């Protein structure tokens, strides 16, 4: 198949946690670019409401029942995508904080475990379920929604604002960054490009709407990384301004 022909074929993306916040806007943005978008969401009502809103906005959206912490749910999502004709881009956006103020010395281990289960293991679980589909795409892309609070360089820079002390959330994003690099190493000789994205400080449920950016602004980097050209970067960490230090 020639590349020119492939450019005419509608591409399909899966966005996890797409029922609200940044994930919803990633789905809307990819839809506006002509992509068909699987709206990955664990709650049926929230999922269907998002799909309806996206369709009303002209997006070719469909619901994908998906709890990233559940093996059976993720396997079923992969089967659904396969039935729908495959997958070109996976945006691992679903995430939780477990609360942003978590001092290490008083850590609730269940909170730490839950953050890692969703933000890291969940990404590995979904990625591995979707990789067989992605490998059949002519231009497979994976975006892991990270955060600059997971940047060890920022956390150790006395002049940088790396957020509050958060022993579950921030290290879970550092872990996710490391996982992203490991996938990039394994997939180096394949067409799969995998990168981590930071959306900036965005007003969503995640932070009680304290962020100063809109979800649409927060979606921009992930959309760019999901639609990279074949010679685009892999194994990197980016925000709107370019490279984020690890
Ligand atoms: P949000 O509005 O709270 O959305 C989080 C999404 O993840 C929701 O759709 C939520 O679904 C979903 N989710 C959580 N656990 C899930 C699970 N087990 N299975 C499936 N879906 C699950 O937060 P957001 O700000 O848009 O965050 C999106 C991503 O950006 C996260 O990875 C976050 O860490 C990252 N991020 C956000 C900011 C920011 O300033 N907001 C900054 C840096 C990075 P429910 O509705 O069912 O709970």
Ligand 1 site, residue 98, Cβ cutoff 6 A: no
CA of 182 to the centre of ligand 1 (A): 23
Q: Reply yes or no on whether 169 is catalytic.
A: yes
- Does residue 5 fall inside a structural domain? no
When pLDDT is averaged across residues 21-46 and rounded to a whole number, the result is: 98
With respect to residue 44, please indicate whether it lies within any of the assigned structural domains: yes
User: Number of structural domains, the chain?
Assistant: 1
**Spatial strand order in the sheet of 193-197:** 60-65, 36-41, 12-16, 89-92, 141-145, 193-197, 237-239, 242-243
Question: Is 204 touching ligand 1 by the criterion CB < 6 Å?
Answer: yes
> What is the length of the chain?
246
Please report the pLDDT score of residue 122 as a whole number. 98
Average pLDDT of the chain to the nearest whole number: 95
Question: Residue 4 above 50 pLDDT?
Answer: no
Summarize the confidence of residues 8-30 as an average pLDDT: 96
pLDDT band for 166, please (50, 70, 90 cuts).
Answer: confident
Q: What is the mean pLDDT of residues 118-139?
A: 98
Domain assignment present for residue 173? The answer is: yes
CATH code for position 123 = 3.40.50.720
Residue 231, domain member (yes or no): yes
> For residues 193 and 132, is the Cβ–Cβ distance under 8 A?
no
pLDDT in tens, 201-241: 999 999 999 999 999 999 999 999 999 999 999 999 999 99
Which of 38, 34, 39, 27 is CA-nearest to residue 9?
Answer: 34
Q: Return all residues near 140 (Cβ < 8 A) that are at least 6 apart.
A: 87, 88, 89, 134, 190, 191, 192, 193
- Check residue 8 and give its pLDDT: 60
Instruction: Grade residue 165 by pLDDT with cuts at 50, 70 and 90.
Output: confident
Is 148 within a domain? Answer: yes
Mutate to test the pocket of ligand 1, among 17, 29, 199 (most ligand atoms within 8 A of CB): 17
Considering the domain boundaries, does residue 109 fall inside one?
yes
In the predicted model, what is the mean pLDDT of residues 123-151? 98
pLDDT of residue 164: 81
Examine the pLDDT at 64 and tell me if it is beyond 90.
yes
pLDDT of residue 3: 39
204 found inside a domain: yes
pLDDT of residue 1: 32
Q: Which two tokens stand for residue 2?
A: 């020639």
What is the tens place of the pLDDT at every residue in 114-125?
Answer: 999 999 999 999
Compute, in angstroms, the gap from residue 206 CA to the centroid of ligand 1: 6
Which of 15, 18, 22 should be mutated for ligand 1, with most atoms under 8 A from CB? Answer: 22
* Residue 181 belongs to domain spanning: 12-243
**Domain contains 91:** yes
pLDDT at 39: 98
């Amino acid at each position: 198949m020639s590349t020119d022909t492939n450019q005419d074929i509608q591409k399909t993306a899966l966005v996890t946690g797409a029922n609200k916040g940044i994930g919803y806007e990633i789905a809307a943005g990819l839809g506006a670019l002509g992509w068909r978008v699987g709206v990955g969401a664990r709650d049926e009502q929230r999922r269907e409401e998002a799909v309806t809103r996206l369709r009303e906005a002209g997006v070719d959206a469909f619901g994908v029942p998906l709890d990233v912490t559940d093996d059976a749910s993720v396997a079923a999502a992969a089967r659904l995508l396969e039935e729908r004709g495959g997958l070109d881009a996976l945006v691992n956006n679903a995430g939780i904080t477990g609360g942003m103020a978590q001092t290490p010395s008083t850590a609730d281990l269940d909170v730490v475990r839950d953050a890692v289960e969703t933000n890291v293991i969940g990404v590995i679980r979904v990625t591995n379920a979707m990789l067989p589909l992605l490998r059949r795409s002519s231009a497979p892309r994976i975006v892991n929604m990270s955060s600059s609070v997971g940047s060890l360089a920022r956390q150790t820079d006395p002049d940088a604002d790396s957020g509050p002390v958060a022993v579950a959330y921030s290290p879970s994003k550092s872990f996710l960054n490391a996982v992203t690099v490991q996938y990039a190493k394994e997939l180096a000789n394949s067409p799969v490009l995998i990168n981590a994205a930071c959306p900036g400080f965005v007003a969503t449920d995640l932070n009680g709407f304290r962020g100063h950016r809109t979800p649409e602004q927060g979606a921009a980097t992930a959309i760019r990384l999901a639609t990279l050209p074949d010679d685009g970067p892999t194994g990197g960490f980016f925000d709107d301004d370019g490279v984020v230090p690890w």
